Chain A
Amino acid sequence: MSAPSDHLVVLPIVLPIAASGLMLLLDERRSRLKAAISLATTTVLLATALILAWGTLAAPQVYRLGNWAAPYGIVLVADRLAAMMLVLTGILGLAALVFAVARWDRAGPRFHALFLLLLMGVNGAFLTGDLFNLFVFFEVMLAASYGLVLHGSGETRIRAGLTYIAVNLIASLFFLVGVSLIYGTMGTLNMADLARRLSGPAGAEAGLFEAGCAVLGVAFLIKCSAWPLGFWLAPTYSAASAPAAAILAILSKVGIYVVVRLSLLLFGTGASAGFGQGWLFAGGLATIAYGTIGILAARDLTRAAAYAVMISSGTVLAALGTGSRAALSGALFYLVGSTLAAGALFLLAEILQRGRDPAAASLAVFADEYHDPFDDDGATETGRAIPAAVAIVGGGFLLCTLMLAGLPPLAGFIGKLAMFTGLAGGAMAPMAWSFILVLTVSSLGTLMPLVRLGIQGFWVPHDGPDPVIGRLEFAALAGLMTVCLGLTLWGGLGLAYTDRTVAWLADPTAYVRAVLPGGAP
């Protein structure tokens, strides 16, 4: 705890909140300066995440705030899973931001401050080592997301935002009830300390503790939009502006992350082993089914992308519920690819719909601060369009479709194949077969509507002008596509990483040893 590199763990939290505070001091008209600060911050965040991920290959890094030892002090834990999610956030955040800088950041006030605050909340939720700080970071993330959902204003956004905020406020109350029940029964909120106490014999209040965990689980399942708690997701994500929707795709993955982390840490072994697994499996399958039906019924691309986010969440939940390590590893790999592809799809959809209904003029809430991005001056880049925009958008669309449907030769297929072989290698339980069946049907169910929407978008003649794509927007899309292709080319490395992540997660004593000075009992 003395070398400067040890303090790198806290950077993903401190840097964005400092930059976000700085944004508030700058005048709303200095959009270029704001964009530059924002881009620099996000780039540094991605670099930090990569360095942390490299560091966690050797050993997880534990950061004790104020050097107070756990469980009395607050700890940040950067392990393989956290580092993987940080990198994912960094990539998606940078792409969404670059896309937004082209023009969306001027569609309403304080976009950059909210965006950086959201990144701070997400990073904090991945890094924190105790439940109450998880709540605080969750609230920071949600508060920023409320602002981002409303970014750009307009009736649909405000209507969707109203539901979104109400649902998430209720989820936060569930979170608090769960956390306080856990504290009341176990006397600690540090995750490692909880795992250590659970590894002993079951206490007298085990039932109450499990009830608390179930209430807490409901809060996270609302966040990752598991059926039947996820009806809010599709209207909200499809109403949000494109860069906001792209970064919101990572928000449901925060819920997934917490469910994966806590169920393996607290219920992997010990007194309450396997708690909630059946529910997760059934809920995951139902989510995949609901998402597939939703995507089949979707009539525009943003809605289809929102349901794709849902399917990807359901897949990880169901894979976690099977209890198979190989399946979970494949699911984590699939999660990375599908989140990036869904984010890219939100961006593509905006470009495609841009030509169709020009100046989707919306009523401004903050009339004095509202700058219409469509009649801006030379700062808007859409005029200098890249030729053959349609071809580029079409190619990107094809890539996204293959990634989300999980068809060869792209990374989505690698993840699904890893899940299938992991399950087929084990005992041929009806559980494994039903999972394979549902996932295969959902592949087909994703492919059909996306192809139909693609044909409508690219081949059917239409009156409006062809979609134009600015340089920055192209860069954002190209970046996401490159990462998707990279995941495909180096799929073996990626799977090896997730394999070792799951092996680390499956051994809670190692986590306890790393975090608590006294070590495991």
Chain B
Amino acid sequence: MEIVLSLGIGLFAASGVWLLLRPRTFQVVLGLSLLTYAVNLFIFAMGRLTIGAPPVLEAGADAARIADPVPQALVLTALVISFALTALFLVVLLAARGITGSDHVDGREPGA
């Protein structure tokens, strides 16, 4: 399971970085989204990987056999914030496209 998760995070992050360095604003947005997925999975993994373990302590439960609830709370917060900010970035992207007439990150076509 560990190898699958780390490969997944790595793939997301690598694709995200590649897209982030592309010249078109929409590619940048997609890159940011992919990177966000990678980071969210990473936060989740920081609570250690468990299968079928409840996230809440019961009386007399073995502390080693529960999932850590804190990273789950963190990832929820991070998810909401990055989702909202990606939406905001999309609005700015559209404004930039409308005003400059180009979807290049510099606001003008190369060589123009």
Residues of A within 8 A of B (CB): 132, 135-136, 139, 142-143, 146, 150, 155, 158-159, 161-163, 165-166, 169-170, 172-173, 176-177, 179-181, 183-184, 189, 363, 365
Contacts and interface: CB of A to CB of B under 8 A. Distances in A.
Nearest to B84: A143
Contacts of A166: 20, 28, 32, 89, 105
B20 A170 contact: yes
30 contacts: A135-B78, A136-B77, A143-B88, A146-B85, A146-B88, A150-B95, A155-B100, A158-B95, A158-B100, A159-B96, A161-B92, A162-B92, A162-B93, A162-B105, A163-B105, A165-B89, A165-B92, A166-B105, A169-B86, A173-B39, A173-B82, A176-B42, A176-B43, A176-B78, A179-B43, A180-B39, A180-B42, A180-B43, A183-B70, A189-B70
A496 B42 CA distance: 45
Given A165-B88, A184-B46, A179 B74 contact: yes
Given A161-B92, A179-B43, 15 more contacts: A132-B74, A136-B81, A143-B85, A146-B88, A158-B100, A158-B107, A163-B105, A169-B89, A173-B36, A173-B82, A176-B40, A177-B39, A183-B74, A189-B70, A363-B99
B46 A150 contact: no
Nearest to B105: A162
B10 interface: no
A377 to B, nearest CB: 28
Nearest to A162: B96
Interface string B48-62: 100000000000000
A176 to B, nearest CB: 5
A60 to B, nearest CB: 26
Nearest to A166: B28
A165 B29 CA distance: 11
Nearest to B73: A132
B85 A169 contact: yes
A158 B99 contact: yes
A172 B82 contact: yes
Given A136-B81, A162-B105, A165-B88, A176 B39 contact: yes
Contacts of B89: 165-166, 169
Nearest to B100: A155
A143 B80 CA distance: 13
A180 B98 CA distance: 38
Contacts of B20: 166, 170
B107 A180 contact: no
Contacts of A172: 81-82, 85
A161 B100 CA distance: 13
Given A139-B81, A158-B99, A162-B107, A183 B39 contact: no
A486 B66 CA distance: 58
Contacts of B8: none
Contacts of A159: 96, 100, 106-107
Contacts of A184: 46-48, 71
B55 to A, nearest CB: 15
Which 9 residue pairs of A and B lie closest in terms of their CB atoms, listed nearest first? Answer: A184-B46, A180-B43, A180-B46, A159-B107, A139-B81, A158-B96, A173-B39, A365-B95, A176-B39
A436 to B, nearest CB: 40
Given A166-B89, A169-B32, A177 B42 contact: yes
Contacts of A173: 35-36, 39, 82
B49 to A, nearest CB: 12
Contacts of A135: 77-78
A170 B107 contact: no
A139 B92 CA distance: 17
B46 to A, nearest CB: 4
B97 to A, nearest CB: 10
Contacts of B43: 176, 179-180
B69 to A, nearest CB: 12
A183 B99 contact: no
A118 B84 CA distance: 16
Given A146-B92, A183-B46, A155 B107 contact: yes
B101 to A, nearest CB: 10
B46 A181 contact: yes
Contact of B32 (A142, A155, A170, A179): A170
Nearest to B91: A365
A172 to B, nearest CB: 7
